[in-house]
Chains A and B, each alone.
Chain A
């Protein structure tokens, strides 16, 4: 508070209009320029032509910036800078330059051309993503046949990282979700004596929807983001180019092992998730509904057929692939620095979840038809 008042006082003393001369006095340094600039806005500039610098004692870059503003007409009209002391003249010579045109701002008005550009841009993205997916599939299949394209043991390592290490979190979350779902459903079903139907409901919900969905979301968060940031970082640090320069295809060496691991792991994790979710149902059913575990499981499995089991795995697999493609694509888009890696990672997670939901819609339609 008192600082500000001091500042104003100093500013009043430092700025003074005298005929066509604007007299600046004292230090024009970065601690004082803010107050002086504010003060300048109060001075009627209309009659001024010249800035008198003879009483300026000290000048730094902030002061020079302000003076350049005055000179270039930032406050309404250009003024001439005059009579600097030797020190000030030296500073001006060292740091000030000719008027610098700031780079023009990008246009913000939207035209038809912009819209067409956007459409072309989006189409380009889809095309690129499509091509990348094709490459990933091709090299992954080749890698299964000729496993020499990647480092020995890389697939196993990836299976451990994306699959095995995810087991505890997938199991825990699925169990909790299973319990929550079952509780909600049980309360409703009990109201009209439909307790035994809990098994049917849980069976369908976990196997058809929640199992694959939960798995996909966890995989996105754990592995999708990791893949995007790994590839993005490798781009920033020239690692991908270094691989290419060594005659090694990044898609084959870096991505294919992950893709193979995903293909193995996601259906299995989906099964795990559905099974553990059902266990949550069993818990609720035995304690809350009073239906014994054996009959719950019999009923739940009874309503499911072989196609459901196949769907469960297929869904898990397709979700996994969608996450893989999206994350790789986002990682590949990084061109700049570390900030972009972060952005690509976020983008990978958001886009993957979007892709999963979209796929889920298609699957739901498929079930219904």
Chain B
């Protein structure tokens, strides 16, 4: 019973297709409430696809997605619209609206989902920008920011409505180590101080060691491991072991066994 309340999100038997190609094969996974779960796996194994399914941006072929105590896998968009403000997402490249300033971008969810007066919204916008260490850029257009700044601005927008669960798709990809580390710290703080459930897709081993409470490993569209980082490091499953030995593995293109050169 207690176990139940500690699970924020549970995915069961999730299958997903792009056209005729099945990308996720019966994925089962649980994500603990208030914890940081890292989703890892080789490029193209279906991590983004898993997120998109959970967020119902793609309709799953079959399976259930339990979030906020109900199965959302078959909800209509009309019902989802009411749940979405409680969920935050940071897309792989930020996905700020190019036609609006950074400040306007962050106020979009506030304007659409609350009736707050404009000056309060403005204050929230400034606070959120401060939170991601981006002061004084609210009048900039997204195109005037660097990639890393854009990502942090997008994070500010993600956090605008104080979501209960936040998804990050490769937050530190393309960031310098210092910014990446400060983003990691921010993620940890969000989770520890605000009790937000966080799900992070990432490849960065250092980042995983800093932030992860739990890990989910995908390999070619299957969940091959679930557990703590310590358990993951000693996990006998091939793809997981390879992941933690990153440095010592074979160079790209040499992996297939028996690939003898002429």
Which residues of the other chain, A, contact B85 by a CB distance below 8 angstroms?
246-247
- Docked CA distance A245–B87 (Å): 8
B96: chain A residues within 8 A (beta carbon): 239, 242
A97 x B253 contact (CB < 8 A)? yes
Give me the interface of B with A, judged by CB distance under 8 Å. 52, 55, 57, 77, 80-85, 87, 89, 91-93, 95-99, 104, 108-109, 111-113, 154, 157, 161, 253, 259-262
Question: Can you list 17 A-B pairs, Cβ within 8 angstroms, ordered by A?
Answer: A93-B261, A98-B260, A149-B112, A230-B99, A237-B98, A238-B93, A239-B96, A242-B89, A242-B95, A242-B154, A245-B84, A245-B89, A246-B84, A247-B82, A247-B85, A247-B113, A249-B81
With beta carbons under 8 angstroms apart, the residue of B108, B113, B259 that contacts A97 is B259
The verdict on A239 contacting B112 (CB below 8 Å), with A93-B261, A247-B81 known, is: no
The digit string for A56-82, where 1 denotes a CB below 8 A from any CB of B, is 000000000000100100000000010
Q: Are B261 and A239 in contact, with the CB atoms below 8 A?
A: no
Q: Does A233 contact B (CB under 8 A)?
A: yes
A238 to B52, CA, bound (A): 11
Chain A binding surface SS class: helix
A67-B95 Cα distance, complex, nearest whole Å = 46
Given contacts A92-B262, A242-B95, contact A249 B84 (CB under 8 A): no
Q: Which A positions have Cβ atoms within 8 angstroms of B?
A: 68, 71, 81, 92-93, 96-98, 148-149, 151-152, 230, 233-234, 237-239, 241-249, 253
Contact B262 A249 (CB under 8 A): no
Bound: A96/B261 CA distance, A: 6
Whether the Cβ atoms of B81 and A92 lie closer than 8 Å is no
A243–B97 CA distance with the chains assembled, in angstroms:
9
B261 and A92: CB pair below 8 A? yes
**One of B92, B99, B104, B108 near A246 (C-beta < 8 A):** B108
A253, B262: Cβ atoms under 8 Å? no
Residue of B whose beta carbon sits closest to that of A92:
B261
Complex CA–CA separation, A117 to B81 (angstroms): 35
Residues of B within 8 A of A246 (CB): 84-85, 108-109, 112-113, 157, 161
Residues on A with C-beta less than 8 A from B262 are: 68, 71, 81, 92, 96, 98
A247/B80 in contact, CB under 8 A: yes
| B57 & A241 in contact (Cβ 8 Å cutoff) | yes
Say yes or no: A238 contacts B95, CB within 8 Å.
Answer: yes
Given A245-B84, A249-B77, are A239 and B95 neighbors across the interface (CB < 8 Å)?
A: yes
Q: Decide: B113 and A241 in contact? CB cutoff 8 A.
A: no
- Across-interface contacts of B260 in A (CB, < 8 A): 98
How long is the Cα–Cα vector from A233 to B154 in the complex, in angstroms? 17
CB-defined contacts of B81 to chain A, threshold 8 Å: 247-249
Known: A245-B87, A247-B82, A248-B112. A238 touches B92 (CB 8 A): yes
CA distance A97 to B157 in the complex (A): 47
Chain B neighbourhood of A97, CB < 8 A = 253, 259, 261
Cα of A151 to Cα of B187 in the assembled complex, Å: 30
Q: Find the B residue at minimum CB distance from A81.
A: B262
Instruction: Give bound CA distance, A152 to B110, whole Å.
Output: 13
For B157, the chain A residues whose CB sits under 8 A away are 246
List A contacts of B57 (CB < 8 A).
241, 244-245
Min CB distance A230 to B, Å, is 8
**Is the Cβ of A241 less than 8 Å from the Cβ of B91?**
yes
A98 to B257, CA, bound (A): 11
* Whole-angstrom distance between the Cβ of A40 and the nearest chain B Cβ: 18
Residue in A239, A241, A246 with the greatest tally of chain B CB atoms within 10 Å: A246
Q: Which residues of B are found within 8 Å of A151, using beta-carbon distances?
A: 104, 108, 111
* Neighbour of B91 across the interface among A92, A93, A242, CB < 8 A: A242
Distance between Cα atoms of A243 and B157 in the complex (Å): 11
> How far, in whole Å, are A93 and B109 apart by their CA atoms in the complex?
55
B89 closest partner in A (C-beta): A245
Contact A241–B95 (Cβ < 8 Å): yes
Flag if B93 contacts A237 (CB, 8 Å).
yes
What B residues does A230 contact at CB under 8 A? 99
Bound CA–CA A248/B89 (angstroms):
13
Q: Is the pair B55, A245 in contact by a Cβ cutoff of 8 Å? A: yes
Residue contact A248 to B108, C-beta cutoff 8 Å: yes
In the A-B complex, the 6 residue pairs with the smallest Cβ-Cβ separation, listed nearest first, are: A247-B84, A242-B95, A238-B95, A245-B89, A93-B261, A238-B91
User: Considering the chains assembled together, what is the distance between the CA atoms of A245 and B94 in angstroms?
Assistant: 13
**Inter-subunit contact B112/A233 (CB<8 Å):** no
